[in-house]
Structure 1
Amino acid sequence: MIPLPTGHIAVIGSINVDFVCRVHRFPHAGETMHVRSATTGLGGKGANQAVALARLGSVVELAGQMGDDPLAQVARTAMTDAGVGLRFVHTETGGETGRAFITVNDAGENQILVHGGANMTLRPDDVPALARVFDGARVVMMQMEIPPDIVVRLCDQARTQDMTIIVDPAPVPPDGLPDALFTLATILTPNETETQALTGILPTDATTARAAAAILHRRGVECAIIKMGARGVFHSRRDGTDGFVPPFAVTAVDSVAAGDCFGAGLARMLACGAPMEQAVRYAAACGALATTRPGAADAAPTAEEVEALLDRQGPRP
């Protein structure tokens, strides 16, 4: 059994309610079609990561913002039931809770439209209250579903408190990732399309991922972890050390929250003091398991499930 970290893991990010439609194939432009099923559940990259950490047995505190509409209670209940600490989740009076509209096809691929709502109305004067989540934490996770300038300010604050800062650059802002994040983040975890947006290289194997990571390092990234889905994970440090974790053999049905579960597994292991190779392999198992079931936050695996997969398909960290 992998030991639990002392203190909590901090997550700052988006909180959404997801509306998910399952279809045999994606519709063409202008086409109306029936869906096979429709569900509603908790989502948003911040909430997804926080729930995934709680499922793995970590103590997690989430910081973010919701509206005061009926969807806020849906999200709050789901997070409370999952064991996520919500002391630093604030309510915007008159605001709308974020929502996402997700279509998933039979291949497990997804298309997502996001209305940020209260997630995107965070202001610089909200940063001190959000940053209180850092107290007592060694690791913090952030993403790009809140305003980029707020992420930069929070990373800058986390740096002063000597924390490991994991930034998932999803979604990459239309104007690109703020330059400061390349140097402020301890670890940057883009997937294939995000890596291409940041470097111009679409990684498809260790060779192309290494070339993309070199560009990220030149921009200031200390550690780059490039997630390539069914092609595996490449990790690289600026000092020249790197490694490749091959994919796990699973049957994917829905990839919506795979990256968030990957990040949670990575954070948990690093908070426990695990070396990078072990942390990335554990994270990859978390992400792989998340693709085997539908939903966003609901897809997060337990620590026992992750350890069972590691036992079946290789040595356990």
Structure 2
Amino acid sequence: MPASTAPAILVLGSVNIDVCAYCERLPRPGETVPGTGYAMGLGGKGANQAAAAARLGGYVEMVGRTGTDVFGEMARTRLAEFGVRTGHLRSDPGSPTGIAAIGVEASGENCITVIGGANMAVAAADVAAALPLFRRASVLLLQLEIPLAAGLAAAAETRAGGGRVILDPAPAPRGGLPDEAFRAVDILTPNETETEALVGIRPTTPEEARAAAALLLGRGVPVAIVKMGAQGVYFRGGEREGFVPAFPVRAVDTVAAGDCFNGGLAFALARGDGLDAAVRFAAACGALATTRAGAADSAPALAEATALLG
């Protein structure tokens, strides 16, 4: 696709380098456990979602910030290898590149500590500098590892151009989100923990997810997609409502599964899928991401997702 053509998918969000430590089980507070290995790779919810959409074959632009350090160089190289355009990914001399320290146990469960670095300097000025991209984007992906004000500015510009805005409310902020954030986006995609933080219900069944989605819709968001991991995905918006059971896979690492879900959702919507089909496609992408280690590196290819869908 020529550079003058608008990207189908635009991502405003965090870019990190992840340092993953693998162990039989995660340590309890004050405990040290032996590890079985470690790895470094591209991470950050924004970069993960961009990489996931690009690996599927989407035309993806990334807007955000890294530091001018070696981690920033590493992140840019990895994004380019995934096929993500980084012409509007700013190098910030005043902040280090974000990092995440991730513990992963043998069951696939994980715990993550994020140091935002340059991600926390992302501002409305970054949106203004890339304004034509936002005005022409088909789908904008947002998360909460950058300041909310920048995301709201990006959402307004994208919607002004007729694009659709997807917000992954992660990490869920203490005290939830202001009503303006719900009204500023088209699709909200919380997992169980984030749903509980936003509406007080931690869903484990379709019925509980339906009740939570109703509360989210009541806050002003047009479409709510509640991700419940191994319990499946519930979605509701307008007259559309449904539940997608979890795909049977052998999970080894749940890191970035939600990001691969959102990348898949954006890809499917950008190519014209309806909500039902897009959610099912996204669920397949998220399931496949759990079958391999890593964050961005766990993103599946289009052929893999298509095969899992049957």
Q: TM-score range by the shorter chain?
A: over 0.9
Which residue pairs with 2:80 in the alignment?
Answer: 80
The residue identity in structure 1 corresponding to 2:193 is T
Determine the C-alpha separation between the residues in 2 that align with 1:304 and 1:32: 41
Which residue pairs with 1:51 in the alignment?
Answer: 51
Aligned residue pairs: how many? Answer: 306
| TM-score, scaled to structure 2 | 0.96
1:101-132 Cα shifts (integer Å, max 9, x gaps): 00001110000000000000123333301444
Which residue pairs with 1:295 in the alignment?
Answer: 294
Which residue pairs with 2:253 in the alignment?
Answer: 254
Determine the C-alpha separation between the residues in 2 that align with 1:118 and 1:254: 27
- The runs of 4+ residues in structure 1 deviating greater than 6 Å are none
- Kindly report the root-mean-square deviation, in angstroms, between the aligned alpha carbons of the 2 structures: 1.4
1:12: how far off? Answer: 0.8
Determine the C-alpha separation between the residues in 2 that align with 1:141 and 1:132: 16
For 1:23-62, list aligned pairs within 5 A. Answer: 23-62=23-62
**Aligned residues of 1:98 and 1:115 also touching (Cα < 8 A):** yes
Indicate the SS of the match to 1:31.
Answer: coil
Determine the C-alpha separation between the residues in 2 that align with 1:216 and 1:136: 28
The residue identity in structure 2 corresponding to 1:172 is A
1:179: how far off? Answer: 1.9
1:256: how far off? Answer: 0.6
1:7: how far off? Answer: 4.3
The residue identity in structure 1 corresponding to 2:251 is A
Which residue pairs with 2:192 in the alignment?
Answer: 192
For 1:72-111, list aligned pairs within 5 A. Answer: 72-111=72-111
Determine the C-alpha separation between the residues in 1 that align with 2:80 and 2:125: 27
**Aligned residues of 1:64 and 1:130 also touching (Cα < 8 A):** no
Determine the C-alpha separation between the residues in 2 that align with 1:162 and 1:117: 32
1:70: how far off? Answer: 1.1
1:155: how far off? Answer: 1.2
Gaps of 5+ in 1: 312-317
Indicate the SS of the match to 1:36.
Answer: strand
1:74-101 Cα shifts (integer Å, max 9, x gaps): 1111111111100110011132000000
Determine the C-alpha separation between the residues in 1 that align with 2:203 and 2:239: 18
The residue identity in structure 1 corresponding to 2:287 is A
Determine the C-alpha separation between the residues in 2 that align with 1:82 and 1:35: 29
Q: Note closer, same or farther for the CA distance 1:6–1:280 as it changes in structure 2 (3 Å cut).
A: farther
Indicate the SS of the match to 1:149.
Answer: helix
Residue 280 of structure 2 is aligned to residue 281 of structure 1: yes
Which residue pairs with 1:266 in the alignment?
Answer: 265
Determine the C-alpha separation between the residues in 2 that align with 1:183 and 1:136: 21
Determine the C-alpha separation between the residues in 1 that align with 2:239 and 2:278: 18
**Aligned residues of 1:62 and 1:133 also touching (Cα < 8 A):** no
Which residue pairs with 2:155 in the alignment?
Answer: 155
| % identical equivalent positions | 50
**Aligned residues of 2:175 and 2:197 also touching (Cα < 8 A):** no
Indicate the SS of the match to 1:172.
Answer: coil
| TM-score, scaled to structure 1 | 0.94
Determine the C-alpha separation between the residues in 1 that align with 2:243 and 2:256: 22
**Aligned residues of 1:148 and 1:178 also touching (Cα < 8 A):** no
1:148: how far off? Answer: 1.1
1:277-305 Cα shifts (integer Å, max 9, x gaps): 11100000000000000000000000001
Determine the C-alpha separation between the residues in 1 that align with 2:113 and 2:68: 22
